[in-house]
């Protein structure tokens, strides 16, 4: 177990940081100041029972291809960016399962964010993310064991990665822990229309030794509320593949 950090640049000035177990985001930062690096690696490659890092490192090779982004991820990202802007004041935002940093970079470039932190399990994803923007910081860690103190973010976003988490209830508790009271969660993933559709997909992926779990919309609402949130809205996002059985749903909730 260890932590890996690269230099951080704030407003163009470099500062070297000593290794530490937990990374606390800056509580105050002037709008538009460039923050680059602060790349952490927390935990070992076998720290969870889900897909190994190799799986996501390999996926990172095609993740940024324009057709993949346009039909699969962009519709969800567009909606998250709009909903993030609905909040009041400048926000400290955590993007869990940030991939190559496309959504985090968009949020960091908006007037909504005072600070954006991208977190992903895959070093391959984050190597591309660090080259994308100087306005975000990046952490390599498990969503089920976030390396941040409690109550430091105003908004947690998680798009199209939650279905990979072996312990989804634990991940939701971690989302709640790092949010301030009243903080918001925007969680987007496929919600199957029926339980049997979710069971069939889970069984099929299990045969390929790739754990995956898509809940129904009602099942996800129950999970989110049980973790200590109030669900405000659940909205279907049209994207490819549209599928009658596998619609993508964006769930908005607030921390109690």
Question: What per-residue confidence (pLDDT) applies to 53?
Answer: 61
Model pLDDT, residue 84: 93
What integer pLDDT is reported at residue 210 of this predicted model?
A: 66
Neighbouring-strand partners of residue 36: 9
Residues in the chain: 256
121 and 40 in contact (C-beta within 8 Å)?
no
**pLDDT averaged per 10 residues, the chain (length 256):** 30 30 41 41 47 58 61 83 84 96 95 95 91 94 96 96 93 98 96 70 62 88 98 88 73 98
- pTM reported for the whole predicted model: 0.75
What the chain holds in terms of domains, given with CATH numbers, is 31-255 (3.40.50.150)
Angle between helices 217-226 and 168-178 (to 10 degrees): 50
Residue 238's pLDDT is what?
81
**Contact predicate 6/38, CB 8 Å:** yes
**DSSP sequence for 30-93:** -TT--EEE--EE-S-TTSSSSS-HHHHHHHHHHHT-HHHIIIIIHHHHHHHHHHHTTSSS-EEE
Q: What is the number of alpha carbons within 13 Å of residue 56 lying toward its C-beta?
A: 25
Q: What's residue 17's pLDDT?
A: 31
Q: For 18, what's the count of Cα atoms within 13 Å in the CB-facing half-sphere?
A: 0
pLDDT for residue 90: 80
pLDDT in the model for residue 63 = 60
Residue-level pLDDT at 232:
97
């Amino acid at each position: 177990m260890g932590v890996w950090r690269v230099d951080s640049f704030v407003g163009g000035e470099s500062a070297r940081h000593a290794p530490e177990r937990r990374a606390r985001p800056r509580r105050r930062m002037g709008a538009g100041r460039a923050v680059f690096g602060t790349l952490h690696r927390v935990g070992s490659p076998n720290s969870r029972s889900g897909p190994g890092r190799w799986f996501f490192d390999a996926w990172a090779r095609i993740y940024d291809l324009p057709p993949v982004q346009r039909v699969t991820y962009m519709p969800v990202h567009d909606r998250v960016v709009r909903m993030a802007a609905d909040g009041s004041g400048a926000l400290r935002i955590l993007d869990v399962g940030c991939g190559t940093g496309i959504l985090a970079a968009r949020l960091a470039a908006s007037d909504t964010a005072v600070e954006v932190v991208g977190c992903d399990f895959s070093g391959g994803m984050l190597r591309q993310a660090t080259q994308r923007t100087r306005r975000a910081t990046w952490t390599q860690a498990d969503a089920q064991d976030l390396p941040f103190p409690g109550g430091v973010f105003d908004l947690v976003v998680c798009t199209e990665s939650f279905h990979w988490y072996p312990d989804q209830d634990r991940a939701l508790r971690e989302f709640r822990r790092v949010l301030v009271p009243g903080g918001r969660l925007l969680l987007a993933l496929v919600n199957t229309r029926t339980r049997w559709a979710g069971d069939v997909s889970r069984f099929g992926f299990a045969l390929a030794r790739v754990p995956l779990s898509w809940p129904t919309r009602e099942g996800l609402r129950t999970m989110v509320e049980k973790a200590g949130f109030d669900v405000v809205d659940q909205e279907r996002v049209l994207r490819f593949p549209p599928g009658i059985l596998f619609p993508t749903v964006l769930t908005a909730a607030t921390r109690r």
